[in-house]
Amino acid sequence: MSIGTPTAALRRLMTEYRDLTIHPPPGITAGPVDESNFFEWEAIISGPAGTPFEGGLFTATLTFPSDYPLSPPKMRFTGEMFHPNVYSDGRVCISILHPPGDDPHNYEQSSERWSPVQSVEKILLSVLSMLAEPNDESSANVDAAKVWRSSREEYDSRIRAIARRSLGF
């Protein structure tokens, strides 16, 4: 969709981009990959201080549906990631990115899932929080959840190595 198409989704994404540019949250940079397509964004997330991710820079993409904000975007880390709430292909699995309404598995409350009052900033802040505090009860990456539960030292060591590699070391 081009920037000239005045849809509600495009207007909303342009507003969110402007807000993120004026008031960027600490440790997060995000915006359209190309300003001719506001439905594909890239983000760089700095690893949260006090976690094994600290010092790393983690890249991700957000893909917005044409009915945004009625439906949530999809988010995927594009670099190496090992985390209980991130599938092995990089897709992020957190409640805020799940479609609105009742959870068919009765795990999440509808208030935890996507709603149009959410924003790109809230998504990215939720992912930053997720990096620091995984939810191992709802794991997308079973291997990462097992290591997180059974050997925190091994988990932290793996994450510190990934953080170093994210910087090209």
- CB atoms closer than 10 angstroms to residue 15: 11
Instruction: Name the residue with tokens 């990959």.
Output: 33
pLDDT digit string, tens, across residues 21-36: 999 999 999 999 998 9
pLDDT of residue 102: 65
Q: What is the CATH number of the domain that holds 16?
A: 3.10.110.10
**Does a structural domain hold residue 70?**
yes
The sheet carrying 37-46 orders its strands as 28-34, 37-46, 57-63, 74-77
d(CA 122, CA 68): 15
- Write out the catalytic residue numbers: 93
3 located within any domain: no
What rounded mean pLDDT belongs to the chain? 91
20 in any annotated domain: yes
d(CA 8, CA 100): 19
Q: Please identify which residue in the block is written with the tokens 């995927």.
A: 76
Give the per-residue pLDDT at 111. Answer: 72
Asked if the structure places residue 102 within a domain, the reply is yes
Is 16 a member of any domain? yes
Q: What does the pLDDT read at residue 107?
A: 66
| pLDDT score for 1 | 44
Q: Is residue 2 included in any domain, yes or no? A: no
Q: For the chain, report the end-to-end CA distance as a whole number of angstroms.
A: 38
Chain centroid to Cα 45, Å, comes to: 9
Average pLDDT over residues 125-151: 93
Tally of structural domains, the chain: 1
Angle between helices 142-150 and 152-166 (to 10 degrees): 120
Give domain status of residue 110, yes or no.
Answer: yes
Question: Where in the sequence is the domain holding 91, given as residue range(s)?
Answer: 8-167
Q: Is the pLDDT of residue 108 over 90?
A: no
Residue 154 in this model has a pLDDT that exceeds 60? yes
Average pLDDT over residues 133-142: 89
pLDDT at 139 over 50: yes
pLDDT at 60 over 90: yes
Taking a C-beta distance cutoff of 8 angstroms, is the pair 69, 116 a contact?
Answer: yes
Tell me the pLDDT tens digit for each residue of 72-105. 999 999 999 999 999 999 999 998 998 877 666 6
**Is residue 1, in this structure, part of any structural domain at all?**
no
